[in-house]
Amino acid sequence: QVQLVESGGGLVQPGGSLRLSCAASGSIFSFYVMGWYRQAPGKQRELVATITSGCSINYAQPVKGRLTISRENAKNTVYLQMNMLTPEDTAVYYCNAQSHLNYWGRGTLVTVSS
């Protein structure tokens, strides 16, 4: 079965940067789209960014220009480079992969605070 494992989260000061990684393991077929979602305390899970197999990228408006999604196919890994972080970016970040099914990681916590 497919497993997605996120890493790279932690505590960072406002204006700082983090790079999240999502490593896929197990049986990997062909993903139509992979992406990052996040869930802040008391809020619904929301889209952050997606990248398709054709390298089409989509960002949510609040993160556009600050966060960058990319993928490294040889390592079955998706990255999320986060710059100019604000306290509003504090959330658990989840990796997602979609083929004929949807797969989710367990999440990695990002806390932006001084």
Which element (helix H / strand E) includes 91? strand 91-98
In the predicted model, is pLDDT for residue 38 greater than 90? yes
In the predicted model, is pLDDT for residue 28 greater than 60? no
Distance of alpha carbon 80 from alpha carbon 3, whole angstroms: 18
3 state SS of 43? coil
pLDDT digits (tens, 9 = 90+) for 61-99: 999 999 999 998 888 899 999 999 999 999 999 999 998
Q: How far is CA 67 from CA 37, 42, 80, 84, 101, in A?
A: 12, 23, 7, 8, 26
- DSSP 8-class letter at 107: -
Q: What is the per-residue pLDDT for 19?
A: 98
Are 111 and 11 in contact by the 8 Å Cβ rule? The answer is: yes
